[in-house]
Amino acid sequence: MRSKINIKKLATILGLVGLLIGICLQVNYYFIYIKSNVGVTKETLIFIPTGSDFPDVVSILTADSIIKNVESFKKVALRKGYVNNVKPGCYGIKPKMGNRDIVGMLLRGIQKPVRVTFNSARTIEILAQRISQRIEADSASIVNYFLNSDNAKEYGFDENTFISMLIPNTYEFYWNTDAKSFAQRMRQEYDKFWNNERRVKADKLKLTPVQVSILASILDEETNYRLEMPTIAGVYLNRLRKGIPLQADPTIKYAIGDFSIRRVLSKQLKVDSPYNTYKYAGLPPGPIRIPSVIAIDAVLNAENHKYLYFCASVDKPGRHDFSRTLLEHNRKADAYRRSLNRGRIYR
């Protein structure tokens, strides 16, 4: 009888010990895996560069006290196999995250996308500088990629037209995007942008999407006044149809490599360059800048009129006067030249 009571007591004691052990394990699990190990009060982005190893990640997380207990983080990272599976990228660390959630996110590579916005830019160098501030690829790698003729051919362009593939907008990227991945994404966006509606409009103008972009790039340099863009586009299209050289001053500035000049001189019109639209009829070989969407759509929706000439307006600063005849144009152009002389603007 007594032995049965002892066995019951022993079983009870063992049960309680087991329960206590279970509770201790659960408490220990909670503090190591579940309890917040984040030392910041709002979501903080961390950037893990390509080629980083686990010590690099630890350094990143401890540099600004993003995590509080380094040893518990290391323990969970080791148990979950993250130590040898570091994935680069941008990650959002939230205040209530415990080691389990932090390591799980890093291990699965669940990145926080970054927003990349770019507008029309004069050169690929300028654009690359802006983009490299938002993704891991540096500006040199982006420039080199887009100046490579073999890369251009791969996407159906040449070294002069490759930049027309870049459509200004706001996009989401993973931070660890390299130059090639950036270009591949831009090709996808280019194909979306040049939908059936835009291609039909280009076909009606007897222009390819690339040719539309070339003309749009000239528009962007001709005026900042958006309402004039379709009118100017109509002038250029009229000249193209009649085989008259475009005689676009921005192409001269591009050919001589100086967009700062306010007055194109006669000697500059003689520069021997395929971009000299005074010397050579038709469109230049490529865009003279990365064109804006506004300018592209202005070409596609160009005004149907009979103007063949335009020049900067004396009476309406920042705008232009349009003419149908050379005689009328020369009169307006002379008036503008006299205004430049009065302002002592000789270049």
Query: SS3 letters for the chain?
Result: CHHHHHHHHHHHHHHHHHHHHHHHHHHHHHHHHHCECECCCCCEEEEECCCCCHHHHHHHHHHCCCECCHHHHHHHHHHCCCCCCCCCEEEEECCCCEHHHHHHHHHHCCCCCEEEEECCECCHHHHHHHHHCCCCCCHHHHHHHHCCHHHHHHCCCCCCCHHHHCCCEEEEECCCCCHHHHHHHHHHHHHHHCCHHHHHHHHHCCCCHHHHHHHHHHHHHHCCCHHHHHHHHHHHHHHHHHCCCCCCHHHHHHHHCCCCCCCCCHHHHHCCCCCCCCCCCCCCCCCCCECCHHHHHHHHCCCCCCCCEEEECCCCCCCEEEECCHHHHHHHHHHHHHHHHHCCCCC
pLDDT at 3: 60
pLDDT at 10: 57
Residues 6+ away with beta carbon under 8 Å from 170 = 115, 116, 117
Residue 233 near residue 305 (C-beta atoms within 8 A): no
Model's pTM, two decimal places?
0.86
Residue 107 near residue 81 (C-beta atoms within 8 A): yes
Kindly give the confidence (pLDDT) of every residue in the chain, 347 residues in length, as a single tens digit, with 9 standing for 90 and above. Answer: 556 566 666 556 655 555 556 565 565 556 677 788 888 989 999 999 999 999 999 999 998 889 999 999 999 999 999 999 999 999 999 998 999 999 999 999 999 999 999 988 999 999 999 999 999 999 999 999 999 999 999 999 999 999 999 999 999 999 999 999 999 999 999 999 999 999 999 999 999 999 999 999 999 999 999 999 999 999 999 999 999 999 999 999 999 988 888 778 788 888 999 999 999 999 999 999 999 999 999 999 999 999 999 988 888 888 999 999 999 988 887 887 887 777 666 55
Instruction: Walk me through the domains of the chain, giving residue ranges and CATH numbers.
Output: 22-108 (3.30.1490.480), 114-193 (no CATH), 196-342 (no CATH)
Residue 232 near residue 321 (C-beta atoms within 8 A): no
Q: What is the DSSP letter of 315?
A: S
pLDDT at 337: 80
pLDDT at 189: 97
Measured distance CA(90)–CA(308) in Å, rounded: 53
